[in-house]
Structure 1
Amino acid sequence: MKITIGDFIIKRLEEIGINHIIGVPGDYTLQFLEQIRKNGSIEFVGASNELNAAYAADGYARVNGISALSLTYGVGDLGGILGVAGSYAEHVPVIVISGAPPLYAIEHNFRVHHSLGDGNFTNMRHTYEEFTIDSSMITPDNAEEEIDRLIRLAMVHKRPVNIQVPSNISYLEIEVEDGPLKIKEPVSDSERLKSLTDQIIALYKKSIKPHVLIDLDIDRLEIKDKILELIENAQIPFAAMSTGKAILDENHPLYIGIYKGNESEEGVQEAIEHSDFLLTVSPRFIEWNSGTYSQNLPLESLVRLDLNHTFVRDQCYEAVYIKDIINVLLEKIEKNPDKKNLNDRKVEEFKVEKSKKLNQESFWKQVHPFLQEGDLIYGETGSSLKALGAMLMPKDATFISSQIWGAIGYLLPALFGSLLARPNRRQLLFIGDGSFQVTAQSLSRILYNNLNPIIFIINNDGYTIERYIMGMKADYSVLPRWKYSKLPDVLVEKNKMKTYNVHTQGELAKALEAAQDISNGILIEVHLHPEDAPEPLKVFGPEVAKFNFGPRGPKNEKPEFNPDDDNISNREDGKYAKEKDKSNEKEKKDKKFEKKYKQNKKGTGKKGNKKTEKKRKK
């Protein structure tokens, strides 16, 4: 059948379940955006800049399975690539559609705007090749083949791809095969599959202490339900890496906790590292999720599954696909009738003291019971991630963070994207003031699209995570002071979002009560002391400093505030600024007296000179 290139792209996106294309308009994309508008089957949703758009597309894909991002050439491509690289690092499939200059300009090396002005049009595509599975420029000759190939790559490998579309070709017709896009599941080599699964089952049958260790890829590769079925059938205890938090229910009777090498929850390191059968799915250890590389998985009993290959001990089996392996294991491993219950975790009861000032410990304890089954919970890099990472998530909750890429500011626009994809699901964001300021424009888009989030902004006057690594009282960790609870009225006129400004447990209790029944969103600005932090962050900061800087250089100052003091406050109340200046008071006095002493020494009188000399000695 005949179809225009632009309509063919739209058709394919619709077939794979994408209902929105997120992006920023640019002149090289406008013809395609007009096709989207006239077609009507998919909606274009604007973001305020390309970085926000890329993060929003990532958030959309995390709850929808896949997403689409529209950028213009050069300035748009590079503006969004930080977010696309994060999607690649975190295994999130995003279809990046880049509007390029007209085909004739590319083929004849015209010097145009949004380029380097040198007639070179390969650099943007080559840049994207570093952060996607593949990147290709579409022409009328290759359109059907390349569009389908790239979409298949994104769906199978769970990574971004880049489709570069010259601005003047989207209305050109091409001949394509009728029918929807076919995504063929790769098929395992039958001999390799049998040999592998026989060895896995033999190793399992000999085991006395089997365990499963999960990471984020059991979600990305769409096998979490089957992994859980295998765990329940065989009654195998399981642990999660911090990057795999809450992918399987943390309330499950067989869940034993988080594994992070030497920083594991109590009893988990012993269980995992001394297991005589350990099934894992492509774990990726970085310093943050491994207790600074202290993981020690038992090689002699390790089965490491990946998309298209598996290691059993130190032997690698190629051309075996993970879904085929799990299906065979489900068929051949016998069900264990002895039901176990290894999980005694409970949410700690918290009693509100209305007039007491909030601190990090009381805030997270008070918020914990507010979380509900099925919530989508975002924990921004920093104090929010560290606090939530140590918290028991409700049943069927989804926890989203950026633990490998670790970009601050990611989660506000990611929340925007996920709200577009799942507007009827309760979604909560916990974000620090430093992260919020990076991508604050996304709040205007949330308001503009009448979405309904619950947003907690932790206002502690700067980068608390950086303070605990180095520079506790340094100016470089201090932010401009924003009135966050006032922003909705500034960003979108006549918006209906509720806002609360909370300093005490009583004020927080009122805000949480209001948040139980909202339809236009709520923003709760939470004031905490700049030097306060969740306990896991207090451990994390010095470990990062040791890893990053070694034994040389300055040592971090310790916090001086008392977390039990009802009067602790942040810089908005003026106290932190005074506390910060205390260390400079003696130096200022010394300089003042030194100046006066020198003046008196020049002849302003013995009496004055002696008086100043006494003060100087003091």
Structure 2
Amino acid sequence: MLLGRLRQYGVSRIYGVPGDYNLEFLDLIERTPDIRFIGTCNELNAAYAADGDARLSGVGAVLVTYGVGDLSALSAVAGACAEGVPLVVISGMPPLHAVQSRALVHHTLADGDYDNVMTCYRQFTAASTRLHPASATMETDRVLNAMQVARRPVYIQFPSDICFAEVDAPPPVLASQASDPALLARAVECLTQRLARAKRPVVLIDAMVRQYGLGAEVLRFCERYAIPYAALSTGRTLVAESGPLWLGQYGGMASAPEVAAYVHASDCVIGLGVRFVDSTSGYFSQHILPGAMVDVQPFSLTSNGENIQGITAANLLDAMVRRQGEQPPTTRLQQQVVSGSPALSSPAGEEWGQAAFWRAVEPFLRAGDVVLADNGSSMVAMLHAHLPEQCSLLVQPVWAAIGYSLPAALGACLATPRRRHVLFIGDGSFQMTAQELSSLLRHQCNIVVFLINNGGYTIERMILGPQAAYNDIADWDYAALPAALGKGPAPLSLRVGNAKELDAALTRVAGHEGLAFVEVGFTPMDAPAGMAAMGQAVRHYDYGFGTPDAP
């Protein structure tokens, strides 16, 4: 029944690790058409992979074994909760008779407590349950509906001895997400009045647009009303990043100057799910004019102190577009549109370093690519890059777990196998989850991996301890790893240490099918533009001004 429900919600892959409490469930997966089990090297990576899959396919699923598997995956599940990614986490747990008798079994604390793991997961999920044959259908539908509404992870414990228990499974009753007509009309009137008075409106896009699949609706709304739009780092590539209405990325004073100037002078800032987190707002340097914010969340609108519940953002955007009809957008708004920064170009004879590298790889990216960048210099660079049409950028700025992007790339590759995938990851991040490179090889994923080798945690050096030993890591032979982690013909693996070598490497990998691995070497304090300023902002916020001097 559970697998059937997952198929109805669009799940076709379940990531995980076999364990003695989930083996019968794995047998069920093998007997179920249209669902594949994707084994990973550990449960943390499985949940990261499901996260990457869900960001492109709509929903991800993870299978773990009780206790050790649950807690191994929990950090990634918490990240999905923070970033608004719908996951179904299924835990094969000890049999019901062991739970009921409080038996002292392995993978527990051997104290008879079978509620402690559930308690942990309740902090990071929209709903959780332990299945029992008498209530399995009702509980499964309740939990999956919660995931659908909240667009966040849910958790299901599946006792090992009930996998093959037969239960009635009538068609599911999906949770309604319709708006109250009167409240929707009030919200439309409120937003219409704000726009009528506005001289300089702007739309800010955040992760809610991905969570609820609103990209097309947002673009129609902005085009119909000729409103410029910008995206927070969590909202990049969710709406077309071209055309006269696209301003660029907004992150407070960390934005391009013209983007920050436009947003900060706006008298009507329509925030779509906006959360001003430190890492997405230039460390709280957003300067929104008093009273300018119109806060549109998934199920509410707040403006000038009035809060309207009982609506959905999707219904609101659709109603606003229909209200405007086919009227041409006002010239007044069109004349105030500004464009983002011009694309970077590499000056002739530029000295080798990260600045030269990022300028060279930006034109290497092509329309339709899925680009992943790990926390650190890779994410900083990609968030300031101009990405081609129809690219998808997968980053994790809020939870900001290093190592996220490599296993997430596995999920992304399996969710969209016909697209090219490009991963940028630092050496410190890579060492956290490097095992999953073997899974990318195993599944013959079409991906180019750029390993940024700068001898340790450069982003931490920018905050504190530029020469400190605690920011050093072991020096791996990174370019040798692809051959060691997979059998068969050795994958394309290259080392780059200067501009000439980079040009040759980009030419070789441009037309390569399968996995290509490029290790790119830099000095420890070499970093993309803006990273030193970010490090200083983090240092001051986290430690105050009485710390030792940093760069």
TM-score of the superposed pair, with normalisation by structure 2: 0.96
> 1 CA distance for matches of 2:260 and 2:345?
28
Deviations 1:138-169 (A, max 9, x none): 00011111111111111221100001100010
Aligned to 1:234: 225
Corresponding letter in the other structure for 1:349: S
2:398 maps to 1:404: yes
Contact 2:218 2:239 in 1 (8 A): no
> 2 CA distance for matches of 1:176 and 1:247?
36
Corresponding letter in the other structure for 1:547: Y
3-state SS in 2 of match to 1:278: strand
2:311 maps to 1:315: no
Aligned to 1:214: 205
Give the Å deviation of 1:421: 1.1
The counterpart of 2:83, out of the listed 65, 69, 90, is 90
2:121 maps to 1:121: no
The farther-off stretch of 449-458 and 33-42 is: 33-42
Contact 2:258 2:340 in 1 (8 A): no
Corresponding letter in the other structure for 1:317: I
Give the Å deviation of 1:496: 4.4
Contact 1:347 1:369 in 2 (8 A): no
Give the Å deviation of 1:358: 3.0
> 2 CA distance for matches of 1:190 and 1:314?
21
> 2 CA distance for matches of 1:461 and 1:80?
28
Question: Aligned pair count?
Answer: 546
Aligned to 1:275: 266
> 2 CA distance for matches of 1:226 and 1:124?
40
Corresponding letter in the other structure for 1:332: R
Corresponding letter in the other structure for 2:9: I
Deviations 1:472-516 (A, max 9, x none): 111111111111110011111214421101111111111111111
Contact 1:447 1:495 in 2 (8 A): no
Give the Å deviation of 1:357: 6.6
2:13 maps to 1:17: no
Deviations 1:448-483 (A, max 9, x none): 111121100001110000011111111111111111
**Map of 1:599-614 to 2, 5 A cutoff?**
none
Aligned to 2:444: 450
**Map of 1:579-594 to 2, 5 A cutoff?**
none
The counterpart of 1:295, out of the listed 271, 286, 289, is 286
Give the Å deviation of 1:346: 3.6
> 2 CA distance for matches of 1:185 and 1:299?
35
Give the Å deviation of 1:13: 1.4
Aligned to 1:157: 150
> 2 CA distance for matches of 1:299 and 1:140?
55
Structure 2 vs 1, CA of residues 44 and 492 (structure 1 numbering), >3 Å: closer, same or farther? Answer: same
Aligned to 1:383: 377
Instruction: State the identity %.
Output: 35
Aligned to 1:138: 131
Aligned to 1:42: 35
2:214 maps to 1:223: yes
Aligned to 2:250: 259
Contact 1:488 1:495 in 2 (8 A): no
TM-score of the superposed pair, with normalisation by structure 1: 0.86
**Map of 1:185-196 to 2, 5 A cutoff?**
185-196=176-187
The counterpart of 1:466, out of the listed 445, 460, 476, is 460
Structure 2 vs 1, CA of residues 352 and 507 (structure 1 numbering), >3 Å: closer, same or farther? Answer: farther
2:348 maps to 1:348: no
Contact 1:192 1:319 in 2 (8 A): yes
Structure 2 vs 1, CA of residues 344 and 169 (structure 1 numbering), >3 Å: closer, same or farther? Answer: closer
After superposition, the CA RMSD in angstroms is 1.6
Corresponding letter in the other structure for 2:392: T
Aligned to 1:429: 423
Aligned to 1:55: 48
3-state SS in 1 of match to 2:162: coil
> 2 CA distance for matches of 1:555 and 1:202?
51
> 1 CA distance for matches of 2:113 and 2:344?
61
> 1 CA distance for matches of 2:376 and 2:423?
13
**Map of 1:518-529 to 2, 5 A cutoff?**
518-529=512-523
2:533 maps to 1:542: no
Aligned to 1:26: 19
Structure 2 vs 1, CA of residues 349 and 290 (structure 1 numbering), >3 Å: closer, same or farther? Answer: closer
Contact 1:485 1:525 in 2 (8 A): yes
Structure 2 vs 1, CA of residues 49 and 521 (structure 1 numbering), >3 Å: closer, same or farther? Answer: same
> 2 CA distance for matches of 1:347 and 1:551?
36
> 1 CA distance for matches of 2:383 and 2:34?
39
3-state SS in 1 of match to 2:362: helix
What residue ranges of structure 1 are gaps of 5+ in the alignment? Answer: 1-7, 559-618
> 2 CA distance for matches of 1:216 and 1:14?
25
